[in-house]
Amino acid sequence: MSMITATGWVPRGFAAAFPTKYVFDDDEYGRIAKLAKLQLEDAEEDLEEAKEAAEDINGESSEHDGNGATGEVNGESSKSNGNGAKASSKKSKDKEEADDDLKEYDLEHYDDDGDEENGPGTSMDMFGNFKSLAYHESNEEDPYITLDADEEDDEEREELQIFPTDNMLLAARIEDDIAHLEVYVYEDDADNLYVHHDIMLPAYPLCVEWLNSAAGKGAAERSKEAKEANFVAIGTMNPDIEIWDLDMIDCMYPNAILGQGGDPSAGDGEPKKKKKKKKSRKPNDKYHVDAVLSLAGNKQHKNLLASSSADMTVKLWDLHSTTSHCAKSYELHQDKVCSIAWNQYESTVLLTGSYDRTATVSDMRAPGTKVPRWTVESDVETVKWDPHNAANFYVSTESGIIHCFDVRQTPSEGQSKALWTLQAHDESISSFDVNPIIPGYLVTGSTDKSVKLWNVVDNRPSMVVSRNLDVGKVFSTTWAPDKEVGFRLAVAGSKGSVQIWDTSTNAAVRRIFADRVAPADGEEVKERLIGVEESEDDSDEDEEEDEDDAEGGEDEDDDDDEMEE
């Protein structure tokens, strides 16, 4: 089984041209030991409990055997002793013969320095002929070494190089019960997408958020130097949030862990007076106790990260803090909080959506105040602000409907009036995004395996095109963040593949946004769909699936003119 649950873009110019190789030195060992101590203590406690349980079971079993009908058992054992003794005698004889065969090799003195006949250093051990080995001071003198280390390093650096015109694309993947984050490099000019490196994850990933702020080791120094950062926050089925440096390759442990798993007090080295209790699942004001469902980095206050969880709380984290506890905790909903988003114009205003079928807008500077609440017809899937209008926000739902609300029109008596409502899909809208470059350009992805592009003009949405990009059930659709690649759309889903669709090559998109996507004179526009190259076997399977889709599928591109009318 392979699937991609979440994706995220890294804007151009933030990735290091030459990523750093991870170095495991004494300082790093100390840092990892301190961060990992709590998990190790929990594992040791679980092991002790398992041993105690096993001893209790064995004790009860022994008492039962002692009080049981031992006569019959002993009788049966005595009857079988004859055959058992014969078998044991035969095994002993075979072992003696094997020992006699090995004696001629004198393995008992294998590690001795030498023997009387040949002298020291001439025994049969692996270093017995050490003096006969030739030593060469340089690779040029050694005929068996032909590679130059410097040339090898230069080649590796070139392979890892990231250019200013490249984008990074992050994809959270599950493959055969192994979770990891794949870091792709997207070369737009070359229509090339490839995996640069990956990061192993502790549990099923649910969300990723790119951060332009350092966290954990060296965060304070880096922020003082005002250096650009390239980090990622990852939420999983575990309650902890991991922060990784994307410019570090082959890293063994995250830069920081936000939550109980990264509590520095666990590394104080003090002996515990009593056995620690199991981790509490009761919501608290320090850290999450259930799966992290959504993350949102603040674009203006770069050290501020918001998170929402299945424990029904929303928490704010200071990435430059020396503790792993959150700065603030909020209880805004009565069910799992599945989606959150910061307002681009009002940096302290947070939008939240929950399975309790409501969305709220809160000013994080005023905790405890009554917040406006918009009600929808089913569980919320995604909430998004309109990047081109500070007052508008969108809510997509499990029933396939999108609502557009104006935050200035606050609901009253449970009535939530939308600017417009759209039945976008017949099944759940599992992914939704608003183009940050082009106003009114929306995308929806659904468990019905379709991706649809929408144009919103004067609060009147209309579908531009619908496509099946062969990624299975669509779990993630995200627009590229840079103007140069503003029409590029990353799509991923249950088949475990990532596709980047250049939507500007679609005829319907060009008709609606002609002034922005018009090609140069005489240039032929061909559809661009970029993905990772697959093996021949996978290609053959895909061709068979494509033939089946061609027989029973329907391409809605031809209906664009009718949709526009």
Q: Is residue 41 part of a domain?
A: no
Dist. CA 284–CA 313, nearest whole Å: 9
Query: Nearest 5°: CA angle at 524, between 518 and 528?
Result: 85
Q: What is the pLDDT of residue 530?
A: 80
Q: Is residue 501 part of a domain?
A: yes
Q: What is the pLDDT of residue 429?
A: 97
For the stretch 227-241, pLDDT in tens is 678 999 999 999 999
Check which CATH number belongs to the domain holding 495 and give it.
2.130.10.10
In DSSP terms, 374 is beta-bridged to: 359
Q: Is residue 133 part of a domain?
A: no
Average of per-residue pLDDT across 161-180: 94
How many of the other CB atoms lie within 10 Å of CB of 124? 15
Average of per-residue pLDDT across 251-267: 76
Dist. CA 478–CA 498, nearest whole Å: 11
Tokens, residue 398: 């499990």
Q: Is the pLDDT of residue 119 over 80?
A: no
For the stretch 481-491, pLDDT in tens is 999 999 999 99
Task: Report the range of poorest mean pLDDT among 45-49, 110-114, 128-132, 170-174.
Answer: 128-132
Dist. CA 121–CA 111, nearest whole Å: 10
Q: Is residue 554 part of a domain?
A: no
Q: What is the pLDDT of residue 370?
A: 87
Q: What is the pLDDT of residue 280?
A: 54
For the stretch 128-157, pLDDT in tens is 444 454 545 444 555 555 555 555 566 667
Dist. CA 39–CA 45, nearest whole Å: 10
Query: Nearest 5°: CA angle at 261, between 257 and 264?
Result: 80
Average of per-residue pLDDT across 35-63: 69
Q: Is the pLDDT of residue 563 over 70?
A: no
Q: Hey, is 564 helix, strand or coil?
A: helix
pLDDT class of 274 with cuts at 50, 70, 90: very low
Q: What is the pLDDT of residue 158?
A: 77
Contact 351, 387 (CB under 8 A): no
Whole-angstrom CA distances from 243 to 240, 287, 291, 335, 527 are 10, 15, 16, 26, 37
Of the two residues 182 and 84, the one the predictor is more confident about is 182
Cβ burial, residue 387 (10 Å; 0-12/13-18/19+): middle
pLDDT class of 107 with cuts at 50, 70, 90: low
Dist. CA 383–CA 351, nearest whole Å: 7
Tokens 């023997």 identify what position? 115
pLDDT class of 12 with cuts at 50, 70, 90: very high
Contact 492, 478 (CB under 8 A): no
pLDDT class of 88 with cuts at 50, 70, 90: low
Q: Is residue 315 part of a domain?
A: yes
How many of the other CB atoms lie within 10 Å of CB of 356? 18
Q: Is residue 167 part of a domain?
A: no
Q: Which of 56-70, 300-314, 518-532 has the highest mean pLDDT?
A: 300-314
Q: Is the pLDDT of residue 185 over 70?
A: yes
Q: What is the pLDDT of residue 471?
A: 96
Supply the mean pLDDT for the chain: 79
Contact 244, 234 (CB under 8 A): yes
Q: Is residue 192 part of a domain?
A: no
Contact 481, 436 (CB under 8 A): yes
Average of per-residue pLDDT across 363-382: 91
Whole-angstrom CA distances from 407 to 350, 390, 443 are 12, 9, 22
Q: What is the pLDDT of residue 476?
A: 97
Q: What is the pLDDT of residue 561?
A: 39
Burial 81-111 (b: 16+ CB within 10 A, else e): eeeeeeeeeeeeeeeeeeeeeeeeeeeeeee
Average of per-residue pLDDT across 7-34: 81
Average of per-residue pLDDT across 100-128: 52
Write out the residue range of the structural domain in which residue 503 sits. Answer: 202-268+280-531
**Of all residues in the chain, what percent carry a pLDDT higher than 90?**
52
Of the two residues 56 and 145, the one the predictor is more confident about is 56
Task: Tally the domains of the chain.
Answer: 1
Dist. CA 278–CA 408, nearest whole Å: 46
Q: Which residues touch 514 (CB under 8 Å, ≥6 apart)? A: none
For the stretch 207-230, pLDDT in tens is 999 999 988 766 666 666 656 789
Q: Is residue 65 part of a domain?
A: no
pLDDT class of 10 with cuts at 50, 70, 90: very high
**Of all residues in the chain, what percent carry a pLDDT higher than 70?**
65
pLDDT class of 261 with cuts at 50, 70, 90: confident
